[in-house]
Structure 1
């Protein structure tokens, strides 16, 4: 112990700041992005028991105050070793834990400038493994300290149960690395296929088809599939009438020819035999190996979308030197939604974060952009194979951890079979994958959603963004290999490989599934449990909307209250009538008797 302290002292004297961490810490991100570089702060460290500092993760600045502080710690620890040898702790009736380096540090914090690191970003073993405080607030820790547990074997066993131990041998087990490059083994060239998902919005579909027809395809042959869903048995006459209008226009692919003529390649009309919803339309299995562009019928495409798409695929998918095994495809919309929200933290702004990283034209983000989603065939096939193993009707299967808004979407829509994106979000979350996004000037996009009235919007809102009218090679086609990667919370990720182990932080064995709790308390239609308006929150600056979202994942938040059942409430009233009311009555009567005696005793001297 003294050797380590003396070595760190030599580091400070050489003019270097140091970060000292115990071997039982788990690093999930770069801690230097979260500590202060203010040299007026002498020491920083992990919070221990709310007001103390843990000696297992500390940062000391190489200043005169830092040198003096560390020299005092060394002297204190040397004296501790003397006292322990002389068994002074027995004479003073103090535990041996009072004679440690950590106590020496904490005894000197009142006399120096110090900074306790965020306890949710740098949790100790009890906070993370036992109380689940960071996870319950949708916060991904930076460094987890494996303390609050005695013995090396016990700590290894705990890490293994959470799947956070890479190996116990001399080498580490490899992390999820996406899908390896395999185009060199293919004999067929890479083709692009456009797949339109339609139902009963004829005008929207015609607008999309007109924009596709007018685009520049560089004389390539591009296959177009139009998938049309059927009305459900509960559909009204008006809904069925609008569906028939769509069918009259596109045809059925067999007896009734299509009125729409596709002049850029083969056209296929796919009419489902029964109502499958968006989930069924998106996840229908195909046997081809094409790169697929999915378009719902309320979007339009830029005349230049295919030029961009083809060059992006050549650069990021076909070119092996630029291939990223974790990138599942492209999202051709302008992204505006941050899926992950965290209790006690403001929602990140995509534009602000991109500006702070140099305003790149392209970036990688975990969320799939459904307004123009492009999937590489190997990654999409992996998703289709995965979803066949999922019990889609089970609400528990759909909950995603980490404070993601997708759980709110799932709880509110799963009974109607409306969701498909939630399954892909969870699939990507478990693997640590991401998509390519654009960041063009003026929020321009190559594919723009008109936000038509339907499953996702109650009323038509019009185009979301301006569309790219004029293609500029130095702006729209200036691809680069090394791009910033952002997680669901839109936090910049230094090591994308670590994204693949994040789902272990919300290990199902240790968490009560809040989706199931919400469903059981809302038999008619699942919805979010609203906190009482007069309930104080222990985290300042958190809006009610954010707290409601957190209630799905967080059994620990004080502001979440479950509505009592009517039977329990009746028993509660009966208990009050039988026990509480008589006690209160006796107290009141006793107070009246005492007060009467006082008045009587005061009147006696004047009775003469």
Structure 2
């Protein structure tokens, strides 16, 4: 294969060669424990042809489809090649041993419209409790050909579970060269976290980027979610479907939506630090149904399957809310209606396929019709006075939280 790097990356790669005492022969070829690397200098770039061993246990693997594979804890072996690259969007896919489900998500990502922005796809694969990586899942990840940019595959060094995958896979990165397309005052890349049972709509990033730009100065946002179906009233457990004529294309809700979640970078960094040093044992939030769910999980020793309870607790006591989309298919008149929309009218930016796994013990037929394949200008007609709903599903104000 052949890769082309900038002059800056050329210097980084040369440093990497020196660091590990790799010796080039007279033909410009580097050989080390199965690696065969051919270097060819150009005036401003360095072309690298790399042949790699099949065993990726301790090394970085670069395959023919621009896929880098890192072992978490050993990624320093090759991170110098790629760590200084900056991206507008970093997509973090979390998976374990559902290869077919992973492929469905990756196929939906291939239809994603990125508006010419630079995008990096990261696939984080967890290990089993006894330390094994599911081979079919790894093969699915390695064989995926993504049209929007490079793919980095991270193999966890040990079993970390869904809570470890969610909380530690994305550490928000600042731009070094002030390249943000959202605002010069917004120095962070956009991070989007997806579990492998999610499929996303082609124009979901277009909506996300517009929402980031519009709400850039709003200081009480914990993140933006693509979830718009199966919403419930956090206190009663009843369905929660805000009227589109009341909210417009977006609304705030006190509860997090994890079906396609883009955390606010500053909030996420603070949450990660808090979670790492916390002494709290029971993240209970009064009056909400999720606390009862978590208490049940405590009784059967499975609290590690509900990472969201910790973020709900953190957001509750820091008065933070999540931004939701509330858009509908262009074939109906829902925007002008005062009626609660039918579920098949919702234009979802993300769909949970409800695959058997940690959260569903058997197949559940998803509402595949809700995934939105269209774009309309009114989808980003955001309101300055965007409505905020409390846990009880009633409009409130941030000052009253």
What TM-score comes out, normalization by structure 2 length? 0.65
Tell me how many residue pairs correspond in the alignment. Answer: 282
| 1:441-460 correspondence runs (5 A) | 441=328, 442-460=345-363
Show CA shifts across 1:162-187 (max 9, x none).
xxxxxxxxxxxxxxxxxxxxxxxxxx
User: Which residue in 2 is equivalent to 1:303?
Assistant: 202
Q: Which runs of 5+ in 2 are unaligned?
A: 1-84, 175-188, 329-344
**1:51-70 equivalent positions in 2, closer than 5 A:** none
Computing the radius of gyration from Cα coordinates, the structure with the larger value is: 1
Match for residue 218 of structure 2? Answer: 324
| Aligned partner (choices 391, 394, 400) of residue 488 of structure 1 | 391
Matches within 5 A, 1:300-449: 300-317=199-216, 323-341=217-235, 349-351=239-241, 354-355=242-243, 358-391=246-279, 397-414=281-298, 415-416=301-302, 417-441=304-328, 442-449=345-352
What is the rounded CA distance, in whole Å, between the counterparts of 2:389 and 2:238 in structure 1? 11
Residue 196 of structure 1 contacts residue 295 of structure 1 at CA under 8 Å; is this kept in 2? Answer: yes
- In the superposition, relative to structure 1, how do residues 448 and 294 fare at CA in structure 2: closer, same or farther (>3 Å)? same
Higher relative contact order (CA 8 A, sep 6+): 2
CA-to-aligned-CA distance 1:302-349 (integer Å, 9 cap, x gap): 1111211222222222xxxxx21001221111143335326xxxx565
Q: 1:275 aligns with which of 146, 159, 183?
A: 159
Q: 1: distance between equivalents of 2:102 and 2:258?
A: 16
- Secondary structure of 1:283 counterpart: helix
Q: Per-residue displacement from partner, 1:415-443 (whole Å, max 9, x unpaired)?
A: 23212101000001111110111122312
What is the CA–CA distance in structure 1 between the aligned matches of 2:171 and 2:246, rounded to whole Å? 40
Which of 95, 118, 121 is the equivalent residue of 1:221?
Answer: 118
What residue number does 1:497 align with?
399
User: Aligned runs of 1:233-312 on 2, under 5 Å?
Assistant: 233=130, 243-250=134-141, 258-284=142-168, 286=171, 288-289=173-174, 290-312=189-211
Tell me if structure 1 keeps the 8 A contact 2:227–2:324: yes
Question: Which residue of structure 2 aligns with residue 523 of structure 1?
Answer: none
Preserved CA contact (<8 Å) 1:311 1:477? yes
Verify the 8 A CA contact 2:248 2:383 in the aligned structure 1.
no
2:103 is paired with a residue whose SS is helix
Deviations 1:489-529 (A, max 9, x none): 22211x31231xxxxxxxxxxxxxxxxxxxxxxxxxxxxxx
The 1:287–1:326 alpha-carbon spacing in structure 2 relative to 1, beyond 3 Å, is closer
TM-score, structure 1 as length reference: 0.44
**Structure 1 SS opposite 2:278:** coil
Partner of residue 58, structure 1: none
Contact 2:252 2:321 in 1 (8 A): yes
